[in-house]
Structure formats: C-alpha cells, structure tokens
Structure 1
C-alpha cells in the first residue's frame, strides 16, 4: 500500500497531474459524475507523502483546480447564454431547475452569491447554477466573481482535506477515505442549505 502511494506521489509531482486535474474539473460541469474531487484529494494526499520540497505543488494544485473550475463554469454559462430558448425550455420542464434558477436570480439581484459558492460543493449544483445563470442572461460581472470564489473555496477545501488528512493519518487509503467522506459531508450540507434557499 505504501508503495502504491509512493508511485502516485511521483506521478503527482510530474506535470501530467495538473492536466488531468484541470481536464476533470473543467468537464465535470457537463458530466457531474466525473470524480474530480477524488482526483484532487488523491493528488494532495500523494503530495503530502513526499518531501518538504514538494509542498509548493500543493499551491499549484489548488490554483489549477480553482482555475479549471471557473473556466468550466464560464463555458457552461456562455453555452447556456447562447442556447437561448432550448436551454430555457429544458429548465422549464423541471420544477427543481426552475426553482434553482429563481433562487439564483434573486441572490444575484440582491448582490449576494452565497448560493453560487454553496452550489459548488453540492453534487451537480455547479452545473445547475452555471447553466441557469447563462440561460437567464445574468450579467457576467454578477456571476463570475462568485464563481471564482466558489472554485477557489472548493479547490482549497479539497486539497486541504487530502494534504492534512495524510499528514495526520499517514498516506494511506484510510486517510483518503476519511478525506472523501469529509468532502461528501460538505456536499450533503451544501445540498441541504441550497434546497432550503437560505443563502442570501
């Protein structure tokens, strides 16, 4: 098992891991089942098993995941913006999507974007928010700063889980499992708050 983490650690320290993380995080706005959170946590766990000289890779990993998250949001936002009536009709067919769009619109109109940040942690929440914002033609200057905060918050949390989990419990599958459990718990909590419509 230790050898397995050492192997992943050597790969995590190479440039390819950033491309894999970026692609996974960017695409999971369209395919929410992609395990982007798992990949980020595994990479951070592997980095924690390395030497002190590899610590800056944690910052690079965080920035890579955050940037890819914002770019994915922007692509989904623009596609929905130009999708016009087709996207609007698709949203109208779903009561949950319609409610989500209304809540997002109200939050952005009040100058608050906590909903955007919370939705980044909820399963498929990022997809709903990005597509709804674009379909409703919300201004980019109202949406993108909150998307950036959401992406940075999610990336920082995910990397911290993997890194500090490995520091406290060792680079083991147990540490990774606990970190993934904490990420899932954050997602469940975010889903609960989004459904209650509490964020302002």
Structure 2
C-alpha cells in the first residue's frame, strides 16, 4: 500500500486532482477535498512528492474558485430551485447561515470554509442575499488560503509523527482534519443556538423590566 501511495502521489496529475476535488467540494460536500489535501501533504513527508508549496497553492485555488462558484449559484438561482436545497438538513443549514451572515458575515464566511456542509450553505445564502461580490471575493481569498495552509499543516504534522509510513500518516491526518471540522461545526451551532435563545428571551425580559416600573409609578401616585 505504501508503494502504491508513493507511485500515486508522484504522478503529474496530482495538482489537477487537488484543484478539481476542492472546487467540486465547495458545492458538492460528498467529495472529500480535505482528505485529499491532507493525504497529499502527509505523503509528501514520507515519499517527497508532491511539492508542499504546490499542494497549498492548488488547494487555495480550488477553494477560492469553488466558493465563488457557489456564491454565483446562490446569486443566480436562489435557495429553493433545486430539490437538495429543500431537504431538512440543508434548510436548517441555510437558515442558520442566514442568521449568522446577518450578524457577523466575515466571521461566518471564514469559519464556514472549515465545515463541508456549512461552507455550501453560507456561500449560497451570501450570494442570494445580495452580499457585495467584491467583499465576498476578498473574504474567500483569506478563507481559502488559510484553509489550505491549515489542511497541509495537519498533513505535515501527521507525516512527521508517523514518518516512514505514508498510509498511517495519511489516515492520522485525515482523522485530525475531520475532527477539526466537527469541532468548528459544533462551535457554530452553539453560537447560533445561544443567539436564538437570547432573541426568544428578549421580549419577556423587556416586559419583566417594565412591570416594576409601572407599579412603582402607581405606588408613587
């Protein structure tokens, strides 16, 4: 298996595979782009191929292009035209993304890049909401480059910890990448739920504050 990996990552097609996988994953989450980037970086430590700088560049280009393509889809077709947009999980993600973008667009756009389904929902909603295209592009560049560097760093760490074994390094790195995505997703969910509870409690809290004041006025009279 290690010999097969060494031969696979040495092929000149690897950069194209990375770009296409990351681009497609921006609007079709089942494509495991994080796993491919992390695996390529982990393999580079063990077998010397592919070039690390090239992996970072290809991952960043694919991420930026894919996110902007998803943004364009949201701007062009909206959020309900296709059946997959109306599925319960996607609707929940779109609703959450809409609330997050309305409050903290930069934070949500940057953090959503690390969550497979989250990045699709956030980019679609951002496009459909009329968010400025130039501002989105600049944020997508920052998010894409940081995500590429982060993913390659995980692969490099895994490769060094398990040096000499490309397969184990790749598996360890992929597991770390998936775990980080789950953590970011849970943090975003907790923030959204807390904001929802605060909004729900807002009117009751305000009325509770006004009642004592009214009674005080009556007593004063």
TM-score per shorter chain, which class?
A: 0.7 to 0.9
Q: 1:151 to 1:17 in 2, by over 3 A?
A: same
Q: Paired residue for 1:79?
A: 73
Residue 147 (structure 1) aligned to one of 135, 140, 145:
140
1:159-174 to 2 correspondence within 5 Å? 159-170=152-163, 171-174=165-168
Kindly provide the CA deviation profile for residues 111-145 of structure 1, in whole angstroms up to 9, marking residues without a partner as x: xx122121111231110111111111101222222
Q: Post-superposition shift, 1:88?
A: 11
TM-score, normalisation: structure 1:
0.83
CA offsets 1:84-106 (integer angstroms, 9 cap, x no match): 47459957x83442231121132
What TM-score do the two structures reach when normalised by structure 2? 0.75
| Number of the residue aligned with 1:101 | 98
Cα distance between partner residues in 2 of 1:68 and 1:175: 23
Correspondence for 1:61 among 22, 36, 55: 55
- Residue 42 in 1 paired to residue 39 in 2? yes
Structure with bigger gyration radius: 2
Consecutive unaligned residues of structure 1, counting only runs of 5 or more, are none
Deviation at 1:183, TM superposition (A): 0.8
In structure 2, the residue corresponding to 1:31 is in which secondary structure? Answer: coil
What secondary structure does 1:47 align onto?
helix
Q: Does 1:30 align with 2:27?
A: yes
- The Cα shift of 1:187 comes to 0.6
Deviation of residue 72 (structure 1)?
Answer: 0.4
The alignment yields a C-alpha RMSD, in angstroms, of 2.5
Identify if the C-alpha distance between structure 1 residues 196 and 141 changes in structure 2 by more than 3 Å, giving closer, same or farther.
farther
| Equivalent in 181, 184, 188 of residue 187 of structure 1 | 181
Superposed displacement of residue 15, structure 1: 2.2
The Cα offsets for residues 137-157 of structure 1, whole Å up to 9 and x where unpaired, read as 101222222212221122112
Give unpaired runs (5+ residues) of structure 2.
193-221
Which residue matches 2:201? Answer: none
Aligned length: 188
- Please identify, of 131-140 and 148-157, the stretch whose mean Cα deviation from structure 2 is larger: 148-157
